[in-house]
């Protein structure tokens, strides 16, 4: 379908297409994993127990994680491991965003090592066609406390100023690798109390490296009530300063943490008053981006069917072809395959975040996946329903 005027008729319920990249063994494993984390008790207590086991180096702990959550939600422990998944996805028109998912580094040596790994993903991306994007979390490259201080507008000691300069140099190195290999990269959004530091850095990099093409993408979390306005400002500033804005839109992953901190410290929560308000702003942000598509590239980082469908409708109404290079859709590995693979089948730019890294280091990411599937109403049951249907369609028993 190109240059549509009629609205697209996507069928996200097509499980044959949704799971056609999954072998029978992989389908069964994913189904069982979702069954397990579908129980609130297992999803909440399981990761806590595994975390204690991992931290105390108890025998078998790594093997259990590796054989369960890790095997379903991660693409491997090393960059080389990810290539297999990347190639499998590519066969079905879905492209990879490499995501070295190490969080909470605390030392300069740790930040440098993480930077090297991000750098390698960009270099590998340049060499290996299937790798389309790379993603990075600034908390892998910079001290959380330092970013909190900068975001609060506090003055820095000379040591802290030097540390921040090193963070900028790490980001600069990544931006240069991105430009040299023409592999764009996403800067993820994190907690609101460190986000101003991340935003400032992302904007200054975009201004320098996105002169003609969107190479660097910042992230906007629409569960924050101030972010639609921030997005409007971003679009305006990019126009005034003459660069192409790259923006990934997400709802936001730190809801409970945000509420808890706001309550503990006695300030109003930055989070929207309801899920409906978040949904409204997310969809409004999609509309805004399509209205300004001459000025920006947008990636919808979502597992929400309605928002994904809405974006396809906005594209059609604007007369954009499905494969328009500035409109991207992304989901996490092993989540919402029904969205990714059905979109790819219709020619949209569909991507999967491929988290990878050593088992202990990616564990916080894995815990969030398990817990998200209980806290997000309907997500786990929707995945399970689709997986069960596909199991039965292939002649396997599913309850
Ligand atoms: C490719 C990709 C990249 C991502 N990158 C980031 C990132 O950089 N930073 C980040 O923070 N997250 C990121 N996420 C996670 C994302 O923010 C969401 O947590 C997750 O995708 C669930 O939201 P959803 O749009 O898929 O759908 P849904 O399941 O429809 O929405 C769930 C989300 O709605 C919001 N919500 C739920 N209840 C309420 C409520 N009562 N009030 C207000 N809002 C509510 C929360 O944000 C919750 O996560 C990413 C997700 C994807 C798929």
Give the up-direction half-sphere exposure of residue 373: CA atoms within 13 A in the CB hemisphere: 29
Task: Convert the pLDDT of each residue in 268-314 to its tens digit.
Answer: 999 999 999 999 999 999 999 999 999 999 999 999 999 999 999 99
Q: Is 190 among the domain residues?
A: no
Distance separating alpha carbons of residues 298 and 365, to the nearest angstrom = 24
Task: Convert the pLDDT of each residue in 198-228 to its tens digit.
Answer: 999 999 999 999 999 999 999 999 999 999 9
Q: Is 251 among the domain residues?
A: yes
Is the pTM higher than 0.85? The answer reads yes
Closest CA to 220 of 240, 264, 190, 193: 190
Atom 19 of ligand 1, residue of closest alpha carbon: 253
Q: Is 374 among the domain residues?
A: no
Q: Is 355 among the domain residues?
A: no
Residue in the block written with tokens 């369960």: 68
Phi, psi torsion values for 74, nearest 5 degrees:
-120, 155
Residues with CB under 6 Å of ligand 1 are: 188-189, 219, 221, 223, 250-255, 271-272, 274-275, 278, 301-304, 330-332, 353, 376, 379
Q: Is 249 among the domain residues?
A: yes
Atom 52 of ligand 1, residue of closest alpha carbon: 301
Return the pLDDT at 1: 42
Q: Is 284 among the domain residues?
A: yes
User: Strand runs (DSSP E) across the chain, as ranges?
Assistant: 94-100, 131-136, 185-187, 216-221, 245-250, 296-301, 327-332, 349-356
User: How many domains does the chain fold into?
Assistant: 1
- What domain range includes position 275? 210-301
């Amino acid at each position: 379908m190109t240059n549509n005027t009629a609205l697209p008729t996507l069928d996200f319920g097509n499980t044959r297409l949704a799971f056609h990249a999954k072998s029978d063994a992989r389908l069964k494993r994913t189904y069982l994993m979702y069954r397990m984390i579908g129980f609130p008790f297992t999803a909440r207590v399981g990761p806590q127990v595994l975390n204690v086991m991992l931290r105390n180096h108890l025998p078998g702990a790594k093997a259990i994680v590796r054989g369960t959550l890790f095997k379903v939600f991660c693409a491997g422990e090393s960059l080389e491991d990810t290539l297999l998944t990347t190639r499998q996805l590519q066969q079905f028109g879905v492209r990879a965003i490499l995501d070295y998912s190490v969080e909470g580094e605390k030392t300069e040596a740790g930040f440098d090592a993480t930077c090297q790994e991000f750098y390698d993903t960009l270099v590998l991306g340049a060499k290996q066609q299937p790798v389309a994007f790379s993603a990075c979390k600034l908390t892998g490259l910079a001290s959380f406390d330092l970013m909190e201080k900068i975001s609060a507008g506090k003055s820095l000691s000379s040591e802290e100023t030097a540390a921040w300069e090193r963070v900028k140099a790490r980001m600069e190195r990544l931006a240069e690798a991105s430009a040299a290999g023409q592999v764009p990269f996403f800067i993820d959004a994190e907690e609101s109390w460190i986000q101003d530091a991340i935003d400032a850095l992302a904007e200054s990099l975009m201004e320098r490296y996105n002169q003609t093409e969107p190479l660097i993408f910042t992230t906007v979390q629409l569960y924050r009530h101030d972010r639609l306005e921030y997005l409007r400002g971003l679009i305006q500033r990019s126009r005034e300063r003459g660069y192409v804005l790259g923006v990934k839109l997400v709802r936001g992953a730190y809801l409970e943490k945000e509420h808890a901190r706001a309550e503990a410290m006695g300030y109003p929560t930055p989070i929207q008053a309801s899920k409906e308000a978040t949904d409204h702003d997310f969809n409004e942000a999609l509309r805004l981006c399509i209205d300004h598509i001459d000025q920006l590239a947008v990636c919808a980082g979502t597992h929400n069917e309605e928002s994904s469908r809405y974006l396809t409708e906005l594209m059609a109404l604007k007369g954009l072809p499905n494969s328009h290079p500035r409109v991207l859709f992304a989901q996490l590995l092993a989540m919402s395959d029904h969205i990714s693979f059905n979109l790819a089948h219709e020619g949209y730019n569909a991507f999967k975040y491929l988290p990878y890294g050593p088992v202990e280091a990616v564990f916080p990411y894995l815990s969030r996946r398990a817990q998200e599937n209980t806290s997000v109403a309907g997500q786990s049951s929707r995945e399970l329903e689709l997986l069960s249907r596909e199991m039965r369609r292939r002649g396997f028993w599913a309850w």
